[in-house]
């Protein structure tokens, strides 16, 4: 691989730096005249991996591509530009992307004008970008999470100047406003309230791939929410790596609880938020969630581990005891609250006893839902440098034990819904049967139900007949 002088390659060490420089807001997005028609008669296909932040970024990419005259293609085969918006949270997420890039080689061979681009968190890593540059010549464009707004000029260079473009900034980042957006949902929308993360949990790559924690101003957020209300959206999710810390980087005395309350007053029927860190979940937040009917009683509260020593090594800043105290307070003060979580097993040198402590917490909390993972070493993070004597088989067994346990409780919880009537926001009809619909309850339970005269985006009362581990089945009632 010959490094081109105008490439900007990622650098995780740079990305790790935090200064006390004020955060810039940039709202001067414009597409140069020469690029406004680059997409005329051409199409794009976006493939998104990973979390909601990526989903929302893809909506921005689609918005920019629309503004350049591109049309969206139904699949990769019919696209002139294919962008893979990637995730770096665990190694298997990266392997999935490399697999997909590999399978696109055939299309590139058939059509050398095809633009295949890789963006998002994976592009922020030196190792992965080097692999793409060396082994995947079909990838003509690589850009990072801080470079979305430069898509027009980057595409111009690939398409008109036939360059291979690499532009990955490794920095704290700005707040970009007024970027175009093409929302993929008609009744549910994502609203970024902040970007980046400064927590630096020792296993996590996010603070390196997404920059410093930086909040949008409340005025911008509330204006976006008002706009979504006017467009008829039924549900919004306020997004941030750690929403509880909203506003701490701004010079205003205005917290996430304040933002949540003002958002609720705008009157969108359903408001969700994610993700919360147990460390700075305030009492005011709990009171606000309890006070407004349109703030959904569903909190995602990552536990990661139930062992204090492991939590310390993870840099999580809370103990098992303080987690449980918060958990109990939420259960006591927010009626009917559902609590979901993330758990990592097999953190370096986790002992059987330490793993048992995680199971103890699961037995106590009986989470409504859990996302469980085997620790994956992320190059550049402190945990990746820790020696680890635990073999993979043991980790896999732990994951299985954990899943069996939380699944049992989830089923028990779901059984309590049998015979009850719940309100579901309809996402759409089943692909196999047009009379079977699906959607979510306020507590974020997936419901499949039968009924007629139903439309996507409708609120429907559903009588639950059968509970399963991951979903509820029922029928629409008046």
Q: Which residues bind ligand 5AD (CB under 6 A)?
A: 89-90, 203-204, 302, 304, 342, 344, 373, 375-376, 378
Task: Identify which of residues 24 and 396 has a Cβ nearer to ligand 5AD in the complex.
Answer: 396
Q: According to the binding rule CB under 6 A, does residue 242 interact with ligand SF4?
A: yes
Cβ 185 to ligand SF4, closest distance in Å?
Answer: 24
376 binds, among ligand 5AD, ligand SF4, none (CB under 5 to 8 A by kind): ligand 5AD
197 binds, among ligand 5AD, ligand SF4, none (CB under 5 to 8 A by kind): ligand SF4
Given the rule CB under 6 A, which of 96-104, 173-181, 198-206, 436-444 is the region that contacts ligand SF4? 198-206
164 binds, among ligand SF4, ligand 5AD, none (CB under 5 to 8 A by kind): none
Q: According to the binding rule CB under 6 A, does residue 204 interact with ligand SF4?
A: yes
207 binds, among ligand 5AD, ligand SF4, none (CB under 5 to 8 A by kind): ligand SF4
Distance CA 297, CA 143 (A): 38
Q: According to the binding rule CB under 6 A, does residue 413 interact with ligand SF4?
A: no
278 binds, among ligand 5AD, ligand SF4, none (CB under 5 to 8 A by kind): none
Tokens (6 digits) for 144: 């990072």
Task: Identify which of residues 371 and 459 has a Cβ nearer to ligand SF4 in the complex.
Answer: 371
Q: According to the binding rule CB under 6 A, does residue 472 interact with ligand SF4?
A: no
Given the rule CB under 6 A, which of 8-16, 193-201, 222-230, 406-414 is the region that contacts ligand SF4? 193-201
Residue 9 burial (10 A CB sphere; 0-12, 13-18, 19+): middle
Q: According to the binding rule CB under 6 A, does residue 277 interact with ligand SF4?
A: yes
Q: According to the binding rule CB under 6 A, does residue 193 interact with ligand SF4?
A: no
Cβ 304 to ligand SF4, closest distance in Å?
Answer: 7
Task: Identify which of residues 148 and 206 has a Cβ nearer to ligand SF4 in the complex.
Answer: 206
Q: According to the binding rule CB under 6 A, does residue 245 interact with ligand SF4?
A: no
How many residues interact with ligand SF4 (rule CB under 6 A)?
10
Cβ 204 to ligand 5AD, closest distance in Å?
Answer: 4
90 binds, among ligand 5AD, ligand SF4, none (CB under 5 to 8 A by kind): ligand 5AD
Tally the C-alpha atoms within 13 A of residue 140's C-alpha that lie toward its C-beta.
Answer: 24
Q: According to the binding rule CB under 6 A, does residue 199 interact with ligand SF4?
A: yes
Given the rule CB under 6 A, which of 199-207, 286-294, 361-369, 435-443 is the region that contacts ligand SF4? 199-207
Task: Identify which of residues 369 and 414 has a Cβ nearer to ligand SF4 in the complex.
Answer: 369
240 binds, among ligand SF4, ligand 5AD, none (CB under 5 to 8 A by kind): none
Q: According to the binding rule CB under 6 A, does residue 7 interact with ligand SF4?
A: no
Please give the residue ranges that form the binding site for ligand SF4 (CB under 6 A): 197, 199-201, 204, 206-207, 241-242, 277
């Amino acid at each position: 691989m010959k490094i081109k002088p105008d490439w900007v390659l990622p650098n995780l060490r740079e990305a790790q730096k935090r200064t006390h420089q004020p955060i810039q807001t940039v709202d001067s997005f414009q597409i140069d005249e020469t690029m406004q028609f680059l997409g005329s008669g051409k199409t794009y296909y976006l493939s998104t991996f990973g979390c909601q932040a990526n989903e929302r970024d893809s909506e921005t990419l689609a918005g920019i591509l629309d503004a350049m005259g591109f049309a969206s293609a139904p699949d990769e085969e019919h696209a002139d530009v294919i962008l893979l918006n990637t995730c770096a949270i665990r190694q298997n997420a990266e392997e999935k992307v490399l697999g997909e890039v590999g399978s696109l080689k055939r299309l590139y061979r058939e059509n050398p004008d095809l633009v295949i681009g890789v963006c998002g968190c994976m592009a922020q890593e030196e190792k992965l970008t080097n692999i793409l540059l060396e082994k995947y010549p079909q990838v003509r464009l690589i850009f990072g999470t801080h470079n979305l707004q430069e898509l027009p000029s980057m595409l111009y260079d690939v398409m008109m100047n036939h360059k291979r473009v690499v532009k990955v900034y490794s920095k704290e980042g700005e707040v970009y406003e007024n970027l175009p957006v093409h929302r993929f949902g008609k009744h549910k929308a994502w609203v970024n309230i902040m970007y980046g993360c400064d927590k630096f949990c020792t296993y996590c790559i996010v603070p390196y791939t997404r920059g410093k924690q930086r909040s949008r101003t409340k005025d911008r957020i509330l204006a976006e929410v008002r706009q979504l209300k006017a467009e008829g959206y039924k549900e919004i999710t306020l997004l941030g790596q750690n929403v509880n810390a909203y506003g701490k980087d701004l010079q205003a005395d205005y917290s996430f609880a304040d933002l949540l309350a003002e958002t609720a007053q705008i009157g969108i029927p359903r408001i969700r938020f994610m993700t919360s860190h147990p460390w700075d979940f305030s009492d005011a937040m709990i009171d606000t969630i309890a006070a407004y009917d349109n703030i959904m009683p569903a909190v995602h509260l990552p536990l990661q581990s139930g062992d204090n020593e492991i939590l310390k090594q993870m840099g999580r800043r809370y103990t098992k005891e303080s987690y449980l105290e918060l958990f109990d307070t939420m259960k006591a003060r927010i009626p009917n609250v559902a609590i979901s979580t993330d758990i990592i097993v097999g953190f370096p040198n986790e002992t059987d006893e330490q793993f048992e402590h995680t199971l103890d917490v699961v037995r106590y909390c009986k989470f409504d839902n859990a996302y469980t993972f085997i620790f994956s070493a992320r190059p550049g993070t402190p945990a990746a440098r820790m020696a680890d004597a635990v073999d993979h088989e043991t980790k896999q067994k732990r994951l299985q034990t954990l899943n069996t346990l939380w699944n049992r409780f989830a089923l028990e919880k779901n059984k309590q819904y049998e015979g009850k009537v719940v309100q579901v926001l309809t996402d759409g009809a089943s692909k196999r049967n047009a009379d079977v619909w699906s959607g979510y309850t306020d507590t974020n339970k997936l419901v499949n139900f039968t009924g007629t005269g139903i439309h996507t985006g409708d609120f429907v009362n559903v009588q639950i007949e059968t509970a399963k581990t991951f979903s509820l089945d029922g029928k629409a009632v008046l």
